[in-house]
Amino acid sequence: LILLACEPPSKEPVTSTPEEKPSLPSWQEGSSKSSILDFVAKTTDPQNPDFIPEAERIAVFDNDGTLWGEQPFYYQLAYAIDYVKKEGPNHPEWGKSPVLKSAMEGDLKGILSKGEHGIIEVVMASHSGMTEDQFKSNVKEWLNSSKHPETGRPYNQMIYQPMLELLEYLRANGYKTFIVSGGGIDFLRVWAEEAYGIPPYQVMGSSIKAKYEEVDGEMQIVKIPELNFIDDKAGKPVGIHQQIGMKPVIAVGNSDGDFEMIQYATEAGGPRLGIYIHHTDSVREYAYDSLSSIGNLKRGLIEAPTRGWVVVDMAKDWSTIYPN
């Protein structure tokens, strides 16, 4: 990781020149790459019995740990903590909460000691009580001013080059690409289009509620501190049903939180492709699976072979991790 820390970040998620058809240059030859190429070839060939009409070519991707990193802890949580630290002086009431006090002191362990409730409290404080426009500009400002603690890269450059190539390759083959994240939908939408070429309306995630009301004499959308939807585990198929309204043909994730999504896609009948990204690279990225509290992957690893799901071995299958 140290080696990568000094590389200048690039703003170019696109890997192919306009003249050439996108392919998967950062994917090593092997069964993962060939499974993907074969699947796309057969489902886009009108002569093949497994052909899928373009209108039905839906591909869904988890985000944290699938399209970008999630270690040493979720980047959205880093945003939330930084926000509470910065805005703490304007919110004396936050001092009464042990969790928010921990956040203001940058004490991650203090937050995590309260489990999921601790995380939710910090997220609520940093994601609600403001208009949609204010939140958007807060996130943009943070992305421009903060860096990953270990690589020194801006967080929106902690995206995986081979996955950028996969997204682009699928779109070039008539697939619509969607994000179905356990993370916050509004946070993601700020930067997903620039990073991945995925527009806001193809981004799904967990959400809090919102109201349309007058703020400073203008009618605006205000984000309120109440959970609306948790887009994780069995919530992922439900979210796909509610927001996409079609069963995906391709589903890609990295943890057991994606199991139901990949199951929903691959059990739908017809040609289907399920993919797990397995974090096996302790040198260039991180190695973790069944014992990790972040991105825990156990059931998926056990059942993938019998279910015919591809398990991508990051260390072996990817020649690069981040964009140059």
- Binding positions for a copy of itself, rule: CB under 8 A: 55, 58, 132, 176, 178, 185-186, 189, 193, 199-203, 207, 210-213, 218-219, 221, 228, 234, 237-238, 241-246, 260, 263-264, 267
Q: Which is nearer to a copy of itself, 5 or 302 (CB)?
A: 302
Per-residue contact flags (x/-) with Ca ion for residues 165 to 194, judged by CB under 5 A: ------------------------------
Selection from Ca ion, a copy of itself, none that 272 binds (CB < 5 to 8 A by kind) is none
Strands 176-184 and 218-229: unpaired
Q: Which is nearer to a copy of itself, 125 or 203 (CB)?
A: 203
Cα–Cα dist 165/10, whole Å? 15
Side-chain half-sphere exposure of 156, counting CA atoms within 13 A: 22
Size of the site for Ca ion (CB under 5 A): 5
What is the footprint of Ca ion within residues 54-113 (CB under 5 A)? 62, 64-65
Cis peptide bond prior to 49, omega within 30° of 0: no
Q: How far is CA 80 from the centre of its chain?
A: 16
Selection from Ca ion, a copy of itself, none that 201 binds (CB < 5 to 8 A by kind) is a copy of itself
Closest approach of Cβ 203 to a copy of itself, in Å? 7
Closest approach of Cβ 264 to Ca ion, in Å? 16
Q: Which is nearer to a copy of itself, 93 or 214 (CB)?
A: 214
Cα–Cα dist 133/138, whole Å? 9
Closest approach of Cβ 218 to Ca ion, in Å? 25
Cα–Cα dist 189/199, whole Å? 7
Q: What are the backbone angles phi and psi of residue 28, rounded to the nearest 5°?
A: -70, 150
Q: Which is nearer to Ca ion, 52 or 273 (CB)?
A: 273
Type and span of the H or E element at 305: helix 299-307
Side-chain half-sphere exposure of 125, counting CA atoms within 13 A: 31
Neighbours of 37 (CB within 10 A): 14
What is the footprint of Ca ion within residues 225-254 (CB under 5 A)? 254
Residue type, 43: T
Selection from a copy of itself, Ca ion, none that 150 binds (CB < 5 to 8 A by kind) is none
Closest approach of Cβ 304 to a copy of itself, in Å? 16
Side-chain half-sphere exposure of 209, counting CA atoms within 13 A: 8
Applying CB under 5 A, the residues found at the interface with Ca ion are 62, 64-65, 254-255
